[in-house]
Structure 1
Amino acid sequence: MRRFALLLTAALLSTSAWANHCPADMAKIDAELASNPPSDPTVLAEVKKLRAEGEELHKAGDHAKSMETLAKAQALLDANE
């Protein structure tokens, strides 16, 4: 029983850590969009779509999928440099 309680606590804390990382990723994407947006309108639209999708996933509590989606947006921005 003690192990179960420890595992449950660890799982809850790790979920909380994921949740706290999403807003930082969104802020980074927002800052890059403000300072150096992609010149290709198709890429810009895709980054904005992925960023919005990542925020919705975060709000829904699906932090792993949110971070995955935000990473795709960040990769598009990184390729823009």
Structure 2
Amino acid sequence: MKHLAAFAIALLITTPAFAHHCPADMAAIDAALAANPQITAEQLAEVQTLRADGQTQHEAGDHDASVATLAKAMQILRIQ
């Protein structure tokens, strides 16, 4: 029983660290942009705006919004 309690506490402590992957998403977007993706100029502008907005949200501590915003950019770039 002690092991189960310790596992549960460890899980609760570490889950927030893995829940928000904003920096990894931003890095993936940056790498895709550096590879000159085959997207329209309009899509490129949208991705750049979403990337900037996602970083602003991340820096403001709104990680849920940041993840959602960055996901839109990743979808346009077809990043999984």
TM-score normalised by the chain length of structure 1: 0.73
Gaps of 5+ in 1: 1-5
> What amino acid maps onto 2:45 in structure 1?
A
The CA RMSD over aligned residues, in Å, is: 2.3
User: What is aligned with 2:75?
Assistant: 75
Identify the residue that residue 28 of structure 1 maps to in structure 2: 28
Q: Deviations over 1:46-67 (max 9, x none)?
A: 0000000000000000101100
Indicate the residue corresponding to 2:56 in structure 1: 56
Runs of 4+ in 1 over 4 A off after TM superposition: none
Kindly state the Cα deviation for residue 74 of structure 1 after the two structures are TM-superposed. 0.3
TM-score under structure 2 normalisation? 0.74
Aligned with 2:37: secondary structure? coil
Change in CA separation of 1:61 and 1:14 when aligned onto 2, cut-off 3 Å: farther
Aligned residues: 71
Give the drift of 1:69: 0.3
Structure number with greater Rg is 2
More helix by share: 1
Amino acid of the structure 1 residue aligned with 2:55? E
| Mean CA deviation greater in 70-79 or 50-59 | 70-79
Once residues 77 and 70 of structure 1 are traced to their aligned partners in structure 2, the CA distance between those partners, rounded to angstroms, is 11
